[in-house]
């Protein structure tokens, strides 16, 4: 009998929803900060013992979690393409942008070996009810970082490139889709039981560009992942109806979208989400009230409880514990 | 016969849509930067000659503009409530936050006198086809700044306050709604022919909090403005259907929402928008193509051409000129 999280992705309605949290392995945990104080972020990423440890930290602290997402970063794919990614405090920096790299540059899969090793190590230690999760960045999000060379407020360079060089942009999006699919499949080979594709910058595109560039390339990536269920998180303030035909089993709903609306508009899919991460900063009373409402609205539909975006570093772990208790009905 | 912009807000369908641009008086213009180099931002705000000059700069450069929005800042209301607002390069800073100010603190309307004087000066110099526009910040956006004391990535302090002190929050939102209405009416008394309410941080609230706190307070503000047509800009990635019943004549559509969808869902109102400001950074070819599509979609509906958010400082004025030519069909 498979884990509750996987059963939800298979379309099973459960009395108590499985749950995990985006960015559950990270800065909001004192034990993470203690470890991170001793090593660089890159060491955490590329040392499989450290990555495994960080992945397991939230599972140890919150035994009711139903998923363990491997500690990694969406930019490892750009690193494997030669972008020389570093992730200092101020956010990612690329030594070379994608326009300086040939389109047929081979993907250096050795870059992915530590994360595969980490998945194997975590898997060996996970309690049986916890599903192992892998992930990758979606093609448009990778292209956006790959062209800007760092985070951006407007992503104007990347957006201009889509229009100035549409053929090249489409070719890169295909390439990045294949790379993302390859990474997700490597995660699955190493032991991931479900995987999530993150289109973090989907909401930066206007509806037309989103439909032309972001959705088809994410579709191409997800279609190549068939050995485990897939979740798709397109971070936008709305959810275009076209998502209903994406080749995935679960849709992660951003916090801006009411779950009742998502449930009505995406009847085919398991839905994941969608508590506003900022609500956890308002303390346990507010956060649990909002969590309870989401659980209530989703009764009778396959549901994975989660946030509608990643946990914020300033979250109090006790507030998260209170939310977990409420969702688990104890 | 009134100006094209006002006729659109009265529901008139025009063969060529009137147009103006959010943040048209600002940093993207070399003539603005030249003036700004010599004075502080506060001097521009509170010296009526300087504010009038900055308001007129885009009208002189682009004679086809149909609206001149007075140069001011949404935070003048907080200044009039004693928050001691300064606006250095890094963004606004408040000397005192709203929780340090009594709810019955009188609104110091002398703070608004320079902007009223500026409106009168601009009005005397405007070409007859150009409508004079006033504006104010919406209650939730003012409360958010008022509680944080500066800009924020998460607005977590303000959002937590809504739940920790809902009665006080509602009282402040009412107070700020009345202040915003008062300012808009003062703009109208001074000569503004239409006014826009800006709910810049509406999209930071989850749908429930938005419906509970932001919408009703904006409604209260708009309902008190009857001497001139009103426009409402709620900056969210989606447009809740409840906007259809707001007491305003025009709805400013964010760039994330397709105009065709807005037209279908908000049949009662004139619609303003909604070119993505980043598309202007991609050069005239991309920007004019997207502008033309918006004009095409809006044929047969009362339409004010504009952006879906403010002009970016790095915009090339020549690209804006190209967009104007295309919208005006020349």
Quick one: average pLDDT of B183-194?
98
Between the alpha carbon of residue A24 and those of residues A32, A66, A151, A168, B3, the distances in Å are 10, 12, 22, 36, 56
Rg (CA), chain B: 19
What band does A237 get if pLDDT is binned at 50, 70 and 90? confident
- Mutation to test the A interface, candidates B213, B256, B275, B309, most A Cβ within 10 Å: B256
Q: Report whether A122 contacts A56 (CB < 8 A).
A: yes
**CB nearest to A156's CB, from B236, B278, B285:** B278
pLDDT tens for A49-106 read 999 999 999 999 999 999 999 999 999 999 999 999 999 888 999 999 999 999 999 9
Q: Do B282 and A258 touch (CB under 8 A)?
A: no
Which residues on adjacent β-strands are paired with residue B250? Answer: B231, B270
Chain B nearest-CA distance from A160, in A, is 4
pLDDT tens for A296-327 read 999 999 999 999 999 999 999 999 999 999 99
Interface residues on B facing A, Cβ-Cβ cutoff 8 A: 154-156, 159-160, 163-164, 203-204, 206-208, 236-238, 255-258, 276, 278-279, 281-283, 285-286, 290, 293, 308, 312, 314
Judging contacts by C-beta atoms under 8 Å, the chain A residues touching residue B156 are 278, 281-282, 312, 314
Q: CA A255, CA B240: separation in Å to the nearest integer?
A: 14
Quick one: average pLDDT of A271-276?
97
**B36 in active site:** yes
Cβ burial of B224 (10 Å; 0-12, 13-18, 19+) is middle
Chain B nearest-CA distance from A262, in A, is 13
Write down the mean pLDDT value for chain A. Answer: 96
Q: CA B138, CA A137: separation in Å to the nearest integer?
A: 37
Quick one: average pLDDT of A1-13?
94
Interface residues on A facing B, Cβ-Cβ cutoff 8 A: 154-156, 159-160, 163-164, 203-204, 206-208, 236-238, 255-258, 276-279, 281-283, 285-286, 290, 293, 308, 312, 314
Quick one: average pLDDT of B107-130?
97
The residue annotated as part of the active site, out of A145, A182, A210, A220, is A145
**B73 in active site:** yes
Q: Do B206 and A286 touch (CB under 8 A)?
A: no
Nearest residue to A272 (alpha-carbon basis) of A248, A288, A289: A248
Q: Around Cβ B242, how many Cβ atoms within 10 Å?
A: 12
The answer, yes or no, to whether residue B330 has pLDDT greater than 80, is: no
pLDDT for the residue numbered B89: 84
The answer, yes or no, to whether residue A1 has pLDDT greater than 70, is: no
At A258, phi and psi to the nearest 5?
A: -60, 135
pLDDT tens for B15-61 read 999 999 999 999 999 999 999 999 999 999 999 999 999 999 999 99
Q: Do B236 and A236 touch (CB under 8 A)?
A: no
Which residues on adjacent β-strands are paired with residue B211? Answer: none
Quick one: average pLDDT of A212-228?
97
Quick one: average pLDDT of A126-138?
98
- B26 three-state secondary structure: coil
One DSSP character per residue, A175-233 reads HHHHHHHHHHHHHHHHT-SEEEEEETTGGGS-HHHIIIIIHHHHHHHHHT--SS-EEEE
Q: Do A208 and B290 touch (CB under 8 A)?
A: yes
**A27 in active site:** yes
What band does A238 get if pLDDT is binned at 50, 70 and 90? confident
- A91 three-state secondary structure: coil
**CB nearest to B256's CB, from A237, A276, A285:** A237
The residue annotated as part of the active site, out of B32, B145, B175, B199, is B145
With a CB cutoff of 8 Å and minimum separation 6, the contacts of A122 are: A52, A55, A56, A68, A70, A132, A191
**CB nearest to A283's CB, from B160, B237, B256:** B160
Q: Do A159 and B278 touch (CB under 8 A)?
A: yes
Q: Report whether B217 contacts B176 (CB < 8 A).
A: yes
Write down the mean pLDDT value for chain B. Answer: 96
pLDDT tens for B215-259 read 999 999 999 999 999 999 999 988 989 999 999 999 999 999 999
Q: Do B156 and A258 touch (CB under 8 A)?
A: no
- Axis-axis angle for helices A284-297, A317-327 (nearest 10): 30
**CB nearest to A160's CB, from B206, B257, B283:** B283
Q: Report whether B143 contacts B202 (CB < 8 A).
A: no
- Mutation to test the A interface, candidates B162, B199, B206, most A Cβ within 10 Å: B206
pTM of the model: 0.93
**CB nearest to A154's CB, from B207, B258, B278:** B278
pLDDT for the residue numbered B237: 84
Sheet holding B131-137, edge to edge: B67-69, B131-137, B194-199, B230-234, B250-252, B270-275, B303-307
Percentage of chain A exceeding pLDDT 70: 99
- Axis-axis angle for helices A166-190, A215-223 (nearest 10): 30
Q: Around Cβ B33, how many Cβ atoms within 10 Å?
A: 12
pLDDT tens for A251-262 read 999 999 999 999
pLDDT tens for A26-52 read 999 999 999 999 999 999 999 999 999
**A145 in active site:** yes
Q: Which H or E element spans position B273?
A: strand B270-275
pLDDT for the residue numbered B1: 59
Q: Around Cβ B84, how many Cβ atoms within 10 Å?
A: 12
Q: Which residue of B has its CA nearest to A278?
A: B156
Residues B261-281 as b or e (16 or more Cβ within 10 Å = b): ebbeebeebbbbbbbbbbbbb
With a CB cutoff of 8 Å and minimum separation 6, the contacts of B120 are: B190, B191
Q: Which residue of B has its CA nearest to A154?
A: B278
Q: Report whether B270 contacts B250 (CB < 8 A).
A: yes
Chain B nearest-CA distance from A238, in A, is 6
The residue annotated as part of the active site, out of A7, A66, A73, A235, is A73
Q: Which residue of B has its CA nearest to A163?
A: B286
Q: Report whether B55 contacts B122 (CB < 8 A).
A: yes
pLDDT for the residue numbered A16: 97
Q: CA B25, CA B56: separation in Å to the nearest integer?
A: 8
Q: Do B312 and A283 touch (CB under 8 A)?
A: no
Q: CA B319, CA A206: separation in Å to the nearest integer?
A: 19
**CB nearest to A256's CB, from B160, B203, B314:** B203
pLDDT tens for B78-103 read 999 999 999 988 899 999 999 999 99
Percentages helix, strand, coil for chain B, rounded to the nearest 5?
Answer: 50, 10, 35
Q: Which residue of A has its CA nearest to B260?
A: A207
Q: Tell me, what's the ipTM?
A: 0.88
- In the A/B pair of chains, how many CB contacts fall below 8 A? 93
Give me the CATH topology for the region B4-327. TIM Barrel (3.20.20)
pLDDT for the residue numbered A330: 63
What single-letter DSSP state applies at residue A98?
G
Q: CA B98, CA B144: separation in Å to the nearest integer?
A: 10
Q: CA A44, CA A36: separation in Å to the nearest integer?
A: 8
Q: Which H or E element spans position B306?
A: strand B303-307
Task: Enumerate the domain spans of chain B.
Answer: 4-327
């Amino acid at each position: 009998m498979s884990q509750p999280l996987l059963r939800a992705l298979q379309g099973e309605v459960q009395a108590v929803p499985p749950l995990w949290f985006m960015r559950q392995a990270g800065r909001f945990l004192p034990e993470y900060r203690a470890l991170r104080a001793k090593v660089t972020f890159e060491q955490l990423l590329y040392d499989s013992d450290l990555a495994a440890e960080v992945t397991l930290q939230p599972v140890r602290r919150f035994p009711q979690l139903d998923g363990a997402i491997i500690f990694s970063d969406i930019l490892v794919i750009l690193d494997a393409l030669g972008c020389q990614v570093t992730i200092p405090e101020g956010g990612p920096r690329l030594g070379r942008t994608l326009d300086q790299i040939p389109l047929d540059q081979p993907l250096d899969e050795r870059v992915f070996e530590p994360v595969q090793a980490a998945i194997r190590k975590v898997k060996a230690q996970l309690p049986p009810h916890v599903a192992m999760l892998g992930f990758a960045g979606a093609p448009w999000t990778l292209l956006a970082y790959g062209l800007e060379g760092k985070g951006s407020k407007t992503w104007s360079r990347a957006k201009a490139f889509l229009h100035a060089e549409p053929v090249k942009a489409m070719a890169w999006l295909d390439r990045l889709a294949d790379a993302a699919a390859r990474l997700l499949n490597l995660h699955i080979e190493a032991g991931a039981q479900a995987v999530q594709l993150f289109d973090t910058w989907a909401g930066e595109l206007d509806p037309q560009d989103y439909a032309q560039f972001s959705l088809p390339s994410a579709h191409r990536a997800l279609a190549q992942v068939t050995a485990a269920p897939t979740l798709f998180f397109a971070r936008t303030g709305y959810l275009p109806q076209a998502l209903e035909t994406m080749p995935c089993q679960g849709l992660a709903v951003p916090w801006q979208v009411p779950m009742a609306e998502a449930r009505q508009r995406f009847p085919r899919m398991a839905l994941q989400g969608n508590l506003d991460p900022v609500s956890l900063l308002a303390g346990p009373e507010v956060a649990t009230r909002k969590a309870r409402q989401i659980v209530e609205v989703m009764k009778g539909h396959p549901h994975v409880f989660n946030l509608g975006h990643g946990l914020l570093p300033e979250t109090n772990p006790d507030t998260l514990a209170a939310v977990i208790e409420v969702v688990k009905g104890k």
